[in-house]
């Protein structure tokens, strides 16, 4: 009797087909072992920042307990003031405040700016709209904690419902803090000051509207939630940083920067230069720890991210191109206008990505000034302008940080006009340092190192100790050790290397 061959039904045929697929396409095939895989799929920009976090050695096991303080960030936020840019827009500020339903406006400026055309236009604009206002014009250049407190006490009896800052970064930062403490009348001054010098309390209330009209092209303070001052008792700069501190509106009028003296243009522009370079080279946002337990605790300075990169690199290129022109020719309106725009772009970039070593080291440099008075500044006491104190360490800093990301440092060198075609990656730091030193020398009237500011080797230990508390910015410095003594040694070498360049 011959065997009877059964014809397989549909279910059997399906099983046989699946078995065939299994044996001819084993699990090693990326299409079947990884459902998320697609041929010819290009990763987006954000994934470049996430590569290191995706390494198998760094993935979290399902049953692995985690230390919350060691969890890395996984998100970034972008916060910036609304910006209006154009020649003559200062005259619109009265209408802006009326649109905000402001009844009592505190106008913050300094004695020099109070005499200039910007303040004349502001007074006319507010009077035209019938807005009640009082002017505080006692702001100090490079403000101290005691000058900030005086301003806060001055404004309390007036109890304004809006603020208007007209001036440079010192004026805008002072206005931010007047607004903050006017809305927190019960707070101690150190409550909001950056840790570890202060308590670093987050700003969890809505502040009054603040409009900022910059008269210098440098700090970018019209876009940021940062306010900086000297803590006189510690001989170091610190401040308050939170995105809720940022102005409601920045009115950027190139006509207001025409009166800047050449020395102020140079110093302000060097601040833009370092803002751009530091935010471009800061650690990636998802390398920062700890991950915040609540979004309100996410710091304003988050690390480099795909959006801040766009602003930072464009600001760097514009500064390299236009700063020398603006310093040398006050009638070059294209250069003056482009530098104000670059300052605003850099403000958006660093206001979210943050700055690192140049700024962290600059705070004790200006706070511990041995007696240096920068030429071109009409002040009665010694002063190291902020941009000068930041730029003086830049060649040494970027020589140090280059190993963390040679490609970014080479891209920065290229912005200075360096042909990087045949430059080796391990030479990125040296190439960028040389480009910076040349740029500073060509700009003119810039100290070629800390020695020309009056510092010597005998000051280095104190400068190091003044830098250590700047945790807000040092945490973003690539290559900086986390262990305290190792960090001290690195900072000591950086200050030594910055004595001359």
DSSP 232-295: GGGTEEEEEE-GGGS-SEEEE-GGGGTT--HHHHHHHHHHHHHHHHHHHHSPBGGG-SSPPSSG
Say whether both 270 and 175 belong to one domain: no
* In a shared domain, residues 470 and 355: yes
- Kindly state whether residues 118 and 203 are assigned to the same domain: yes
Neighbours of 456 (CB within 10 A): 10
| Residue 328 counted as domain residue | yes
Q: Does 271 lie in the same domain as 251? A: no
Q: Report pLDDT digits (tens) over 350-373.
A: 999 999 999 999 999 998 999 999
Give the range of the structural domain holding residue 398, as residue numbers without chain letter. 262-497
Q: What's the CA gap between 284 and 465, in Å, rounded?
A: 26
**In Å, how far from its chain's centre is CA 496?**
25
CATH code where residue 368 lies? 1.20.1090.10
For residues 154-177, give the mean pLDDT.
Answer: 97
Of the residues 257, 292, 312, the one at which a domain ends? 257
Angle value at C-alpha 259, between 253 and 263, nearest 5 degrees: 115
20 falls within a domain: no
- 50-84 b/e (C-beta count within 10 Å ≥ 16 → b): eeeeeeeeeeeeeeeeeeeeeebbeebeebbbebb
Paired residues of 304 in beta bridges: 284
Instruction: Return d(Cα 268, Cα 212) in angstroms, integer.
Output: 17
The residue out of 257, 292, 309 marking a domain boundary is 257
With the CA atoms of 263, 265, 267 and 269 taken in that order, what torsion angle do they form, in degrees rounded to the nearest 10? -160
Question: Is the model's pLDDT at 5 over the cut of 80?
Answer: no
Residue 372 lies in a domain: yes
The residue behind tokens 């960090």 is 487
Q: Residue 231: give its domain's CATH number.
A: 3.40.50.1970
Q: Peptide bond preceding 329: is omega within 30 degrees of 0, i.e. cis?
A: no
- Length of the chain equals 501
Give the pLDDT score at 250: 98
pLDDT tops 70 at residue 499: yes
**How far apart are the C-alpha atoms of 223 and 346, rounded to whole Å?**
9
CB-CB contact of 392 with 365 (8 Å): yes
pLDDT in tens, 441-471: 999 999 999 999 999 999 999 999 999 999 9
> Cα–Cα distance between 102 and 105 in angstroms, integer?
7
- Identify the domain boundary among 232, 257, 282: 257
Walk across the sheet containing 104-108 and list its strands. Answer: 82-85, 249-252, 210-214, 162-167, 104-108, 132-136
pLDDT tier for residue 126 given thresholds of 50, 70 and 90:
very high
39 in any annotated domain: no
What's the rounded Cα separation, in Å, for the pair 124 and 130?
10
CA gap 39, 68 in Å, rounded: 37
- Mean pLDDT score of the chain: 90
421 vs 42: which has the higher pLDDT: 421
Buried b / exposed e over 109-146, threshold 16 CB at 10 Å, is bbebbbebebbebbbebbeeeebebebbbebbbbbbbe
Q: Please count the structural domains in the chain.
A: 2
Using 50, 70 and 90 to split pLDDT, how confident is the model at 11? Answer: low
pTM over 0.75: yes
Q: Rounded to whole angstroms, how far apart are CA atoms 103 and 255? A: 28
Q: What is the dihedral of CA 64, 70, 76, 80, to 10 degrees?
A: 150
């Amino acid at each position: 009797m011959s065997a009877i061959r059964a014809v397989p039904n549909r279910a059997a045929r399906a099983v046989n087909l699946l078995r065939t697929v299994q044996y001819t396409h084993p699990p090693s095939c990326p299409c079947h072992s990884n459902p998320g895989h697609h041929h010819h799929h290009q990763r987006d920009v954000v994934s470049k920042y996430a590569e290191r976090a995706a390494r198998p050695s760094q993935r979290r096991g399902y049953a692995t307990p985690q230390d919350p303080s060691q969890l890395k960030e996984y998100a970034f936020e972008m916060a910036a003031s609304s910006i209006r840019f154009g020649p003559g827009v200062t005259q619109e500020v009265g209408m802006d405040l009326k649109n905000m339903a402001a009844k009592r406006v505190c106008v913050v400026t300094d004695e020099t700016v109070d005499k200039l055309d910007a303040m004349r236009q502001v007074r006319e604009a507010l009077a035209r709209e019938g807005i009640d206002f009082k002017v505080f014009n006692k702001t100090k250049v490079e403000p101290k904690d005691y000058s900030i407190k005086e301003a806060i006490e001055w404004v309390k009896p007036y109890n304004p419902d809006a603020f208007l800052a007209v001036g440079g970064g010192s004026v805008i930062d002072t206005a931010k803090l007047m607004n903050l403490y006017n809305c927190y009348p019960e707070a101690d001054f150190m409550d909001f000051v950056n840790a570890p010098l202060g308590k670093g309390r987050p700003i969890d209330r809505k502040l009054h509207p603040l409009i900022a009209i910059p008269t210098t092209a440098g700090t970018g303070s019209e876009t940021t939630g940062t306010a900086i001052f000297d803590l006189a008792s510690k001989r170091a700069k610190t401040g308050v940083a939170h995105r809720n501190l940022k102005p409601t509106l920045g009115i950027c009028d190139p006509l207001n920067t025409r009166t800047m003296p050449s020395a102020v243009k140079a110093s302000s522009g060097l601040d833009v230069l370092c803002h751009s370079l530091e935010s471009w080279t800061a650690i990636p946002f998802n390398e920062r720890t700890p991950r915040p337990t609540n979004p309100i605790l996410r710091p304003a300075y988050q690390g480099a991210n795909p959006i801040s990169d766009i602003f930072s690199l464009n600001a760097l290129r514009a500064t390299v191109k236009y700063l020398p022109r603006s310093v040398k020719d006050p009638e070059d309106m294209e250069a003056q206008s482009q530098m104000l725009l670059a300052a605003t772009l850099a403000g958006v970039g660093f206001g979210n990505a943050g700055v690192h070593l140049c700024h962290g080291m600059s705070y004790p440099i200006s706070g511990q000034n041995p007696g240096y008075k920068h030429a071109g500044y009409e002040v009665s006491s010694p002063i190291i302008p902020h941009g000068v104190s930041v730029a003086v360490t830049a060649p040494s800093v970027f020589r140090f940080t280059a190993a963390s990301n040679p490609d970014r440092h080479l891209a920065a060198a290229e912005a200075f006009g360096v042909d990087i075609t045949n430059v080796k990656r391990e030479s990125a730091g040296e190439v960028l340092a040389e480009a910076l030193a040349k740029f500073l020398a060509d700009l003119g009237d810039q100290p070629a190192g800390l020695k020309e500011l009056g510092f010597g080797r005998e000051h280095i230990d104190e400068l190091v100790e003044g830098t250590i508390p700047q945790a807000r910015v040092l945490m973003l410095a690539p290559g900086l050790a986390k262990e305290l003594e190792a960090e001290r040694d690195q900072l000591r070498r950086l200050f030594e290397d910055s004595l001359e360049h």
